[in-house]
Every structure is written in structure tokens, then in C-alpha cells.
Amino acid sequence: MKKLLYLAVLLVAMPAQATYTIIIDPGHGGPRCGTSSPSKKIIEKEAALEIALALAKQLREKGHTVILTRETDRALDEHNLMDDLKKRAQMTTDYKADIFLSIHLNGSFNKSSRGFEVYVPYEDKYPIKSYALAAAIHYDLSHEVEPEFGGGNLGNLNSLDRGIKASRFNVIKRATCPAVLAELAYISNPATEEKLLKEGYGLYVTALYKGINRYIVHNKKE
């Protein structure tokens, strides 16, 4: 009986793991394809959705409420890009979100461009928290993904780490919670394309999952 009482006290005393409302935004969709790989086998809007769906599944299993801005190949506004971006950001207000993550893949005319970068809003209502979220995601991208591509987070010339940057991207600028946009890889790079076609996006899903959890562990809700 004493033991049971002790257990009951312990359970009450233990803070429950906070559950967060997380909005994941797979970039583009519908008529807007984003960028594509040299062979056109990877289309940004499709890859972003695949990563977002897998990430959502893992975060939901952890108990979080996850809302995707789109779960199929569609735009939120087919005719007007600005309205499309506004509607994505508006969901952070509608759902009282704690975290907003927009997922993109990059492209460049320079085929040797490669690596990942994480953006925070330049005019930020939550500057420290957006940076903390970006830093957590950046940490796990640099540790989970980079070594697999032959780079490392050592500041060397081969590094694929393009850092954390401020931007005026509308989709994160208008979010009403800590917000980050991740450009996960340059799919215009033939070596990156080859690796992704062979191995899929599991590394990225793991890195984003770990990064979001890392942020949650170290930051209380707004």
C-alpha cells in the first residue's frame, strides 16, 4: 500500500511531456511544382510532401498535434501566390500553433551548389524562439545528413552546411508562432539527386524529427 501511494505521488509529481501543435508546410503544390532535379525524377512539391507526411506520422506517434498545410498535391490558392502563402501562415493563428516548419528543396543553375540552409523570419515576433528552433533543426541536419554526403560540421571547404539565415519569406514572416523554413538539399546537384533517388528521404525525416523534439525539450511554450 505504501508502495502504491509512493507511486501515485510520483506520477502526480512528474510533469507530463508537453504536447505541441505543430504545423508542417510542404512547400508549393498544385500548379506550382517548385524546382526539380536534372532528370526531373525529383519534383520539389512531391518530395516536400513525402517528407512532411513521414515527419507528421512520427510526431503524431510522439503525441503531438500535427497539421499539414496540404496533404495532397494542391495549392491553397491556385491563382494567387501571395494568397497561397498567406493562407499557409494563417493556419498558425487558426490552430494556435506552437511551431511552424516549412519544408523546401533548393535548385540552382550552378549544378555544383549543394547543402542545406535553415531560414528564420527577418522581422520576427519570436526572434529567440525561431532561432532556437532553427538551431535545433540545423544541429540535427548537420549531424544526421551531412556526414552521409561526405561533409561534416567542421567549417571545412567540403562542408554542406550553409547555415542559419534571416529572410523575408512571406510564409514564415506571417506566422504567429516560432517559424522556420528549411531548404533541405539542392536537388539540382546530380550527386544529391542520385543519392536521394537511391536512398529516399529518411535521413531528412529523422533529422527534422530530432530537431523539433530537441527544440521542444529545451523551450517552454509561448
Q: Which residues form the interface with Zn ion (CB under 5 A)?
A: 27, 34, 104
- Which one, 27 or 151, has the nearer CB to Zn ion? 27
Tell the smallest beta-carbon distance from residue 77 to Zn ion (Å). Answer: 16
- Which residue has the CB atom at the shortest distance from Zn ion? 104
Rounded CA-CA distance 152/160 in Å is 7
Backbone dihedral angles phi then psi of residue 174, each to the nearest 5 degrees: -90, -5
The candidate with the shortest Cα–Cα distance to 163, out of 121, 195, 123, 135, is 135
- Output the smallest distance, CB 71 to Zn ion, in A: 18
Closest distance to Zn ion from the beta carbon of 27 (Å): 4
Which residue has 508549393 as its cell numbers?
Answer: 28
Q: Residue 104: helix, strand or coil by DSSP?
A: strand
Rounded CA separation 67/22 (Å): 6
Query: C-beta of 44: minimal distance to Zn ion in Å?
Result: 5
Closer by beta carbon to Zn ion, 29 or else 98: 29
Distance CA 222, CA 92 (A): 13
Minimum CB separation from Zn ion for residue 19, in Å? 29
**Is the Cβ of residue 64 or residue 104 nearer to Zn ion in the bound state?**
104
> Which C-beta is closer to Zn ion: that of 107 or that of 129?
107
Q: How far is the CB of 26 from Zn ion (least distance, A)?
A: 10
Q: How many CB atoms lie within 10 A of CB 119?
A: 23
82's CB contacts (< 8 A; 6+ apart) are 170
Decide whether 205 or 216 has the Cβ nearer to Zn ion: 205
Nearer to Zn ion, 69 or 219 (CB): 69
Q: How many CB atoms lie within 10 A of CB 35?
A: 20
C-alpha torsion sign, points 135, 75, 86, 34: positive
Closest CA to 98 of 60, 66, 140: 66
